[in-house]
Each structure stands twice: as structure tokens, then as C-alpha cells.
Structure 1
Amino acid sequence: MRVRQRPWLAVQPSVAEVLRDVHARNVDAEDVWVSAHVAPHSVHGTLRCKRSGESAILTASPSSAAWRAEATASPDVWDVCVAGDVELSTQVHVPRVQRTWVGAQAPTVLDLQVSASGTERWAIGGADGQLYAGEWHGGGSAPAVPSVECAGHVGDVTSVRFFPSGEVLLSTSLDMRARIFSAIDGSCPRTLEGHTRAIVGSAILGLGRRIATGSADHSVRVWDVGRGAAVQQWTRDEPVTALAAYGAAQATPEAPVGALLAGGARGVHAWDVRAAPQEAWACVLPAPGGVSALCAHETRVLVGSDRGLVALFDARAPAVPLEAWVRSEARITDVWADAHGVLVATSDGLPYAASGGVQELVGWDAAPTSAVRRDAHGHVLVAGPGAWAWYA
């Protein structure tokens, strides 16, 4: 399987402020820097931000004739084309809202879920056990101001997932515990203990009567939430680094409902949780690097590695990935797959969306991004150290 080298584009992180200043007539025009990287080449130039009617748009700067940028529906989304030694055409998304996070100093995980009542909720976890939840109303005030504090963990929160109801949270931590929280009032009716090293990932099985946790102690455990006890356990020959679960609309021998996916240094192992503990299948990454992020959507499995690789597998035929690509060797910190496409968060501050082509999610100033999700309206939320950004 050939790993494709994908290009990437870096844009001046303050481009959103520049666009707003020009739109508000604070300045007549201003240049922003742009860098394009198509291995092994890179080129650097500028784009001019100026007013056009009632909007602020980016156009080619007189000093950078090789660059071309066109606003599409709004200044928040525009197309950049580069001509010359490096040929590149990509779409750039500027954050509609970008705010400092006043709760967790370094948000590391997040989740979004629509509740049975139709209310969408958010949850963000970070360092030293900080975990908050609240209602999500697009790019408005949330989640800049914490609404509900879910207190109890004493180590960094490593995963947070909503139960299907959208009103209950499952979280895991470096403190070796998993906790069940109410997203409404922050109460913690259940704490799950038994792992002997940090819990690094979690998964909700079915309606949530059972959940799963993966740990650096080499084990994956399935828990009965009502009893608060582990009912199944698998042991790997290496630490678990990521965990996910998937189910198919129709159960088949190739795609069993209720498969657990555990990432490690060499790839992904899957177990059918309906049967006695046994491995269903395994897949190996097509390039060096261990699994650092994992997500499943229907029968598709999306894997990110600590060496910058992203690979998409079909769980019904996992021997060879459907596609695999790399942009740099920066660690993949989070991946998300849904009907709209793929989202990727990276440690070099260059998160992106992939659906056919690549859409750059700019504004992070080389700061690592740690989590990415898409809301019920198709908008993207990215969390990073001390901040979050919402892309329309």
C-alpha cells in the first residue's frame, strides 16, 4: 500500500483579526503571510486583505504574483491557489469564533452529542482532572464559559464520551479510573476502578449499559455500568494507546456488531464483544509509527499515528487500508470520521478536514491542537491549549 504525501498550507494565525480589521475599516488593507509545502519543496508569499463592497477579501499581493486567493461564500472560507515550482490548490477555513478557554488550562479531549430532547451538549476535559459540560449553541458563548463542572478525577482527563442520551458522560483519566457523570448537574454516580496504569481511551457499547476502557496496563475491559464491575477483559502484548467501538447496521460475519478496536504500537486489534474473548481481526499501519488516535464510523476505521500517518480501513476487509496519507511527521492527536468526511487534529497546529480535497483549519500559530469534532449542523470545533475555535 502506497502512502500518499499530501501538501499543506500554513497561514498567518491572525488572519481572522486582519479580515475583521479591514471589514471594520480600521485599516484600508494589510498583507498576511502564507506558506505552501509540497514535499520536498516549500514556497512562501503574501496575500493582500482589502475591502470589496461590504466584505473583506484576500487577493494576490503585488509582490506575490504566484499566489491567488478567492473568497467563496464569505471571508471565513476561501480558495488559495499557488502556481510555480509548487502547484497547490486548497480551501482555507478561518475560525468564525476563536476564544480563550477559561476552564481547563489545556483542553485535551472533547465531545458533542444531541440529547433525546434535541439539545446539543458539549464536554471538554483537560489537565489535572478538569472536566466541564454545557449546552452547545453553535459558535455562540459556549464553551468559552464552563457551565457544569464534573469534579472527581485527580489526573489529566484522557477521554470523554457522551452516552446516547446526551445527558450522561463517560470520562477516563491518568488516575486509572473511569467515571460516569451527569452532564446536567455534574454528579458522579459511578466510579470504575481496576486498571493498574493510566486509562487512555473509552467506548460506549450499544445504549450504554456496558462501556469499555483501554489502558497502558495492556488490557481492555468491558464494564457493566449498573453493577460497576468488569465483565470481560482482553490482554494485549503491548500498552493500549487508543480505543474505539463500531457497529454495522446489519450484522455479518465480516462486520460484527459490537466490535472493540484497540490501538497500540504496531496497529489495531479488534474483538467481537458478543462472543467469548477472541480476536476478530487485526490491521497493521502501512508506515512506521504507533496508533495515537482512533475513530470508527459505520464500517470505516480511521487511524492516526504518532508519526503523522492517517489511514482509513474498511473493517470488513482490514488487511490493506483504503487510503493512507501523511503531511508531516507531527503527531496525530485526534481523528474524527462521519458522513461529512474526516477531521484531523495535529501537534503542529495544522488541523484539517478531508472530504475529497483538504480544507485547512487555520488560526493556531503552530500551537498543538488536541481534539476535533463536528456538530449537528456540520460545523467544526477544534480545541487546543487554552483555546477553542469554531469553523462555519
Structure 2
Amino acid sequence: MSPLSTTVPLFSIQPTYLDVLADVQSGKIQKDSFYISCFVSDKSVHGTVDVYRSGSEVVLRGHGGFDVQVGNRKLTLTASCPELNVSNVLIKSPKSQISAHSTKRIETFDISPQGELYVVGGPNGEVSLSSIADGGAITRSLDGHLTYITKVLFFPSGQVVLSASGDMQIKLWSTADGSNPRTFLGHKRAVTDLAMIGRGRNFLSASKDGTVKLWECGSGSLIHSFTNPLGIPVEPTTMAVSKRHDGISAAPSSPLEFETDDKLVTIGYDNGDIAIYGLSTKNVLASIPTKSVDSEISNIDVVDDRIFVARGKNSEIWDLRSITVPLETINLPSPVVGIGASTANSFAFATQTGTPVVFENHKVSYYVAGFGDSTVIGVKNRSPSDGIYFAGKNGSIKQY
């Protein structure tokens, strides 16, 4: 079977377009407009949409090559750009929004598995924990890092949080009282990513020092350091843990390991290399060297046996179910800044240019509006019932 290859267009739409529609609908103003753009490969079209009333109806009229209509469901639009062969795409607005009051800018975020809390990390070492139910009021500040936060991550229980920083430290926090019972030291440069294993008795950390380290939480012990199998000086940028789909299970190499016997870790590097290891055996199962310049691996996420990898400035998302070659490649006109998978056939991604995209069953399901260009820093796609969360650098977290 030949690999699938899909070229996905991107849209950019004025974040305040709903305000424009509401102002015209209420009669506050008679006519207004908002901007809209479409990008496909190296081509782009930029236009505007006039909004005015005709009787009791709000009418939209596109200019510059766009046809835009109010969708059948509330807070949605359908847009077409015939010049780029894009027709009838769905654009949704957020169901809810939270503002991170603790900092005007965030670098990373996570939502608890129970959907009750969220945690954000800022550019000056700030980590704050908040409740979703009260609109983002600060529950507590988690103070201790010295510089920018690179990753925050809830444990599956939702009762513990990990944070990583450019200060080379990894800190474990209690969500109950904000205490920091353990700090993990061992990296020699900034920590770039964290990944949980099973229920969290073990976790992994990636660093610009060239290593991915396996830790045991209870004792704080370092169990193993993974290095690039090609033996070249590169920096791991991102990683993810998944179950082995080959049915192989091997006993852990250390009594401090838990739930590693049937797991893989996929590691992406700043030069575009990808390495896949058996967690319990520490053996490299696949090493995929870069084949082009500007191919840094920016994000990896997994669900079931699918490994989604985003690479390159001319961005691609790979489905690496076969481990060594992609079974599907999604081609985008802008680098990916976040991926979140919820089921084997559904994942969301955000790019540097344009609105985030929800991709299902090998095609775009819908685009999400509400963000300006170059603001989205992450995606959490928890479940179809709970929705998808996108976070922007300006501290806004929106649920769709």
C-alpha cells in the first residue's frame, strides 16, 4: 500500500470576527468587516468579509477571492477560496475561554486528566496551578525555578505536576498544597521536554545536553541516559511514550522501573533525526536520519499505535505506525507548534501561521478561530467529549 500524502490548506481569520458579527446583529453599527486569508503550499490569498444587515438577517460578502457564510450551527462559519481550490471549510469559535491571570505570557500548559485543573509555565520561571471551573483564578503559585519554563505535565492522578526549565531542574509539585517534595538534578543544559510512563512512577526528561534521562520518582534516582544512536552531537527537542505494537514485552533492566516492559519512546532531535527505543531493553529499534535542512522535530504525540511526528520549517506531520517510514504525510505551509491526539483517527495541530486545525479520518474536520497569527503555543486534545484546548502566548486558553 502506497503512503498517503495530504496537502492541508491553512486559514487565518480576524480573532475578533465574532464581535463584528455581534455588533452588526445588535444594530450597534450598520456595517463592518473582518480579514481572512488562505494558504496552500507556497500560495496565499488575502481578503476581507463585509458584514451588514438585510432586514433581520446578517449578511456576509467576501472580497478578494472568498465566499463566507454563517454556518448552520451557532458560532461557526463556512468559507471557500476558489482560487486555491478550497471549498466549504468549517471554522469554529471557542466554546469557552480561560485567562491565565498569573502571567501575561505563557510558554507551556497542561490540563489535568480529570479536566478540573490547568497548569501554566511562564518565561521567568513562573509556574501556576488554577481551577478551570472558576474561570482561571489562581489556585497557587509554584515558586522555585530560576528561568523560563519549557514543560509542565500532570501525572495521571491529577494530584502531582512536573515542571522543567532552562535552569536544568525538574521539579515535582503537589497540587494539594503546592509543596515541592523532590527536585531532579542531572542535566547539564536546559531541559526541553518531559514524558510520563504509565501511572508515573517513572518519567523521561529530554535536554539540550544531548540526553534523554529515565527517572524513578520515589527515590529521585536516575536509571538510564539515552543518547542519539548515530553518535552525533544533536539536541533532543521532543519525545513521546507509546505502547509497542509488535507484541514484544521484555523485563525491565532495573528494579526501579515500572510499566516499561511494553513501551517505546520516540525521540526527535533538532537536526531532524528520529530515534525509537524499547524502554525496558534500552535498545534502539529504529533510527531515522534527517534527509533535508531545516527539519527540526518540533512535536511528537501518540495515541494507540500511531506516532505523530511534526518536522521541518516546510512542515510535515508523519504517521509512523510502521516505525521506519511514514504511512501518511500531511503537508503544511507553516511549521507546527503543537500536536494533540485523542483517538487513532483524530488529532489537532497548531501552526505558526493561520488558525489551528482539527484533522479526522485523513481530512480536515474544521478550523478554529479566536487566535491571531503566531500566538498558539500548545494543544491538548483530551477526548471527544471534553473537547480540545489550545493555548496562546498571551495567556488565553480556549476550549473547542
On the 8 A contact 2:207/2:237 being kept in 1, the answer is yes
- Paired residue for 1:108? 107
> What's the CA shift string for 1:63-116, capped at 9, x where partnerless?
568513231311x2222123346443321122344565322332121111234x
Higher deviation after alignment, 294-303 or 381-390: 381-390
The alpha-carbon distance between structure 1 residues 45 and 78, as it changes in their structure 2 partners (threshold 3 A), is same
Q: Which residue of 2 aligns with 1:262?
A: 267
**Alpha carbons of structure 1 residues 195 and 312: separation in structure 2 relative to 1, 3 Å:** same
In structure 2, relative to structure 1, the CA distance for the partners of 1:133 and 1:349 (3 Å cut) is farther
* CA contact 2:129–2:140 (8 Å) conserved in 1: yes
1:113-152 alignment to 2 at 5 Å?
113-115=112-114, 120-137=116-133, 141-143=134-136, 145-152=137-144
Distance 1:357 1:68 in 2: 17
Instruction: Kindly report which structure 2 residues correspond to 1:5-44, keeping only aligned pairs within 5 A, or say none.
Output: 5-44=7-46
Over 3 Å counting, the alpha-carbon distance change for 1:72 and 1:248 in structure 2 is: farther
Aligned positions, number: 379
In the other structure, the counterpart of 2:253 is none
Contact 1:106 1:127 in 2 (8 A): yes
Match of 1:239 in 2: 235
User: Following TM superposition, by how much is the alpha carbon of 1:15 offset from its aligned partner in structure 2, in angstroms?
Assistant: 0.7
- Is it true that 1:290 corresponds to 2:287 in the alignment? no
Q: What is the aligned counterpart of 2:337 among 333, 337, 340?
A: 333
Equivalent residue number for residue 94 of structure 1: 93
* 1:59 maps to 2:51: no
SS at match of 2:349: strand
1:271 aligns with 2:277: yes
- Worse-superposed segment, 79-88 or 169-178: 79-88
For 1:60 and 1:52, the matched residues in 2 are separated by 12
Check whether the contact 1:159–1:173 (CA below 8 A) recurs between aligned residues: yes
Deviation at 1:47, TM superposition (A): 2.5
- By how many angstroms is 1:189 displaced? 0.7
Distance 1:196 1:214 in 2: 11
Determine whether 1:370 maps to 2:371: no
Match of 1:72 in 2: 72
Alignment partners' CA distance in 2, 1:128 and 1:263: 26
- CA shift, 1:168, in A, is 0.7
TM-score, length-scaled by structure 1: 0.86
**In 2, distance between residues paired with 1:167 and 1:218?**
30
1:15 and 1:72, CA in 2 relative to 1: closer, same or farther beyond 3 A?
A: same
CA distance in structure 2 between the partners assigned to 1:172 and 1:232 by the alignment = 18
Equivalent in the alignment of 1:46 = 48
When residues 24 and 4 of structure 1 are mapped into structure 2, their CA distance, relative to the original with a 3 A threshold, is same
- Range with bigger deviation, 4-13 or 170-179: 4-13
Summarize the Cα distance change of 1:171–1:251 in structure 2 as closer, same or farther, 3 Å threshold: farther
Contact map agreement 1:43 1:86 (CA 8 A) in 2: no
TM-superposed deviation, 1:267: 2.7
* Cα contact 1:109–1:126 (8 A) shared by 2: yes
For the structure 1 residues 211 and 85, does the alpha-carbon distance in structure 2 shift closer, same or farther, using more than 3 Å as the test?
Answer: closer
Contact 1:302–1:336 (Cα < 8 Å) also in 2: no
Are the structure 2 counterparts of residues 241 and 39 from structure 1 closer, same or farther at C-alpha, using a change threshold of 3 Å?
Answer: closer
Distance 1:154 1:85 in 2: 48
Q: Determine helix, strand or coil for the equivalent of 1:20.
A: helix
Contact 1:13 1:364 (8 Å CA) reproduced = yes
Partner residue, 1:204: 196
Q: Percent identity?
A: 21
* Structure 2 Cα separation of the partners of residues 235 and 83 of structure 1: 49
Q: Runs of 5+ in structure 1 lacking a partner?
A: none
When residues 97 and 147 of structure 1 are mapped into structure 2, their CA distance, relative to the original with a 3 A threshold, is same
For 2:183, what is the secondary structure of its paired residue?
Answer: strand
Inter-CA distance 147–26: structure 2 relative to 1 (3 Å threshold): farther
Contact 1:130 1:157 in 2 (8 A): yes
| CA separation of 1:242 and 1:41: change in aligned 2, threshold 3 A | closer
Match of 1:81 in 2: 80
CA contact (8 A) 2:206 2:238 kept: yes
Task: Specify the code of the residue in structure 1 equivalent to 2:342.
Answer: D
Residue in structure 2 matching 1:300, options 302, 306, 331:
306
Amino acid at match of 1:381: Y
Preserved CA contact (<8 Å) 1:349 1:369: no
Specify the code of the residue in structure 1 equivalent to 2:302: A
Instruction: Give CA-to-partner distance per residue, 1:15-49, whole Å, 9 cap, x none.
Output: 12213323443224422222222344333333343
Q: Residue type of the partner of 1:354? A: F
Q: 5+ residue gaps in structure 2?
A: 251-259
Q: Which amino acid aligns with 1:107?
A: I
CA drift of 1:360 comes to 2.1
Are the aligned partners of 1:41 and 1:86 in contact in 2 as well (CA < 8 Å)? no
CA deviation vs aligned residue, 1:243-277 (integer Å, no higher than 9, x gap): 211125894479972211211022321111112x2
Contact 1:300-1:312 within 8 A present in 2 as well: no
